[in-house]
Amino acid sequence: MKHSPATLPLPRRFGNALRDNRPAIAALQWTFVVLYLVLLITPALFPDDDANTGALHTLGRFAEVLFWGVWWPGVILSVMLIGQFWCGLLCPDGTLTEFASRHGKGGKIPGWLRRPALPLATFAFITVFEYALQAHDTPRGTLLAVGTMTAFALACGAFLGRGKRVWCRYACPIGGLFSLLSRCAVLHFRVDRAAWDAAPRPIPKPVDCPALLDIRRLRSNEKCNMCGRCSDHRNAVALAWRKPGAEFAALHDGDARAWEAAGIVFVLIGLLYGALHWQHSPWHHSLLALGVSAVPAAFAAVLLPAIVLGSGTALLLAVASGGQRLTAIRLAYALIPLGGFGLFLGALEHALDILHDAGFTVAPLLPWLRAAVLLPATIWSTRAGCTILGKGSAARTSFGAGTAVLALTWQFAPQPLSA
Ligand code: SF4
């Protein structure tokens, strides 16, 4: 049944507006490409050690705070709350790779690139290197790390796919992380299979999904770029609300993947805690000082806390699930809100550190900021875990207690602001 546009729910109307306003969206996307390049390149032109202390240097620092304090946390939060609209509508790498793919060689996607764990594994690899070598601490290091990814996105578009986002679907390391975070979102493109199959003839042309998804079988936010191109297709696809955590609770057994659970526990929680928070600890510096050679010690200093916190989290899941493997895997997904907000905090704290270095009094804010972010995240993860566990009150209690302890490790994480 066709509805008049005015009676459609707001998200569905928004989805249709995305579908119908491609030129305006393209203009916005290219504006973001320019903004991204300015924010990335300006700090590298006027770094801290530069003798230049004039207006351009201040502009460079301002751009750095904007990048770490507004842009990056904003992207993380939006992916967690409303899905990967960032990727489909604004991400400069997505715009560039699709543009390159439209004018590129249109090659076939090699089998090795289709491995589902590849983006998250690449993300972990880059994070270890970036933080062990402290690349993100300098604007030029940030330019090298982030700019290299943009170069790969362009190359991927130039050689693979015809007007598609092969990079976003199969290779983007940040996309590997966002595939986890977007499971939390309260918006999704819902497909009504019955309406799809009963669509009246003539059947409309298939949707040109840039992420190469089988839209008819879409039931997860995992790889959906939320671009809106499939909105209302066959009168069966609609942007719609869902409960927070609904995707974890409804996860089919075949969709609860062991490698993804390991990624949540050891990368999203363990590695990102090690990289973003533990590096400020005096223990971290002692470990670095102990190293016979600086480089292996730097890697150990990032990896060790990741392994310790990751193993502790895996133990919590094993206890709460009563040793049942599938339940433990499903419970790992419930920890995505807490791990995601830990990452969000890490980005905000990096921006606070830059402001602190610039002479602003931000230290008193830190404990309150942590509490304000961690409290809702803990409640969200605990509720999601309890829904998965069902009625077993002992299991619920041990999961809730374990989640609270995990939250305290972020609340009392080492102080990032240098003395
Ligand atoms: S399923 Fe494909 S076309 Fe539809 S919103 Fe997601 S990425 Fe876009």
pLDDT tens digit sequence for 254-304? 889 999 999 999 999 999 998 888 888 887 777 777 655 666 777 787 888
Query: To the nearest whole number, what is the mean pLDDT of the chain?
Result: 89
Q: Are 101 and 165 in contact (CB under 8 A)?
A: yes
Give the containing element (helix H, strand E) for 237: strand 237-241
State how far the Cα of 83 lies from the Cα of 180, in Å rounded to an integer.
10
Look at residue 136 and tell me whether its pLDDT is greater than 70: no
Look at residue 5 and tell me whether its pLDDT is greater than 80: no
Give the nearest ligand 1 atom to 229 CA: 3
pLDDT, tens only, 78-129: 999 999 999 999 999 999 999 999 999 999 999 999 999 999 999 999 988 8
The answer to whether the CB of 225 is under 6 A from ligand 1 is: yes
What integer pLDDT is reported at residue 371 of this predicted model?
Answer: 97
Look at residue 43 and tell me whether its pLDDT is greater than 80: no
What integer pLDDT is reported at residue 120 of this predicted model?
Answer: 96
**In the chain, what are the domain boundaries?**
5-182, 249-411
What integer pLDDT is reported at residue 400 of this predicted model?
Answer: 95
**Which whole number is the average pLDDT over 46-69?**
65
What integer pLDDT is reported at residue 385 of this predicted model?
Answer: 94
What integer pLDDT is reported at residue 129 of this predicted model?
Answer: 82
Lowest mean pLDDT among 243-247, 376-380, 382-386: 243-247
Q: Are 213 and 166 in contact (CB under 8 A)?
A: no
pLDDT band at 4 (very low <50, low <70, confident <90, very high): low
Look at residue 144 and tell me whether its pLDDT is greater than 60: yes
First to last CA, the chain: 65
Q: Separation of 401 CA from ligand 1 center, angstroms?
A: 38
pTM: 0.90
Give the nearest ligand 1 atom to 233 CA: 4
What integer pLDDT is reported at residue 418 of this predicted model?
Answer: 67
What integer pLDDT is reported at residue 391 of this predicted model?
Answer: 76
**Nearest Cα residue to atom 3 of ligand 1:** 209
Give the nearest ligand 1 atom to 215 CA: 1
What does the radius of gyration of the chain's CA atoms come to, in whole angstroms? 22
pLDDT, tens only, 186-209: 999 999 999 999 988 888 899 999
Q: Separation of 186 CA from ligand 1 center, angstroms?
A: 16
Q: Are 125 and 177 in contact (CB under 8 A)?
A: no
Q: Which of 209, 217, 231, 237 to mutate to test the pocket of ligand 1 (most atoms within 8 A of CB)?
A: 209
Specify the amino acid at residue 53. T
Cis ω before 43 (30° cut-off from 0): no
Computed from CA positions of residues 53, 57, 59, 65, in that sequence, does the dihedral angle turn out positive or negative? Answer: negative
pLDDT, tens only, 18-32: 999 999 999 999 999
**Which whole number is the average pLDDT over 375-399?**
91
What phi and psi, each to the nearest 5 degrees, are found at residue 210?
-65, -20
The answer to whether the CB of 226 is under 6 A from ligand 1 is: yes
**Which whole number is the average pLDDT over 315-333?**
95
The answer to whether the CB of 211 is under 6 A from ligand 1 is: yes
**Which whole number is the average pLDDT over 367-395?**
92
What integer pLDDT is reported at residue 264 of this predicted model?
Answer: 97
Specify the amino acid at residue 246. A
- Other CB atoms within 10 Å distance of the CB of residue 389: 23
Look at residue 419 and tell me whether its pLDDT is greater than 70: no
Q: Separation of 178 CA from ligand 1 center, angstroms?
A: 15
**Two tokens, residue 60:** 């460079």
The answer to whether the CB of 224 is under 6 A from ligand 1 is: yes
State how far the Cα of 98 lies from the Cα of 76, in Å rounded to an integer.
22
Q: Which residue has the higher pLDDT, 327 or 415?
A: 327
The answer to whether the CB of 83 is under 6 A from ligand 1 is: no
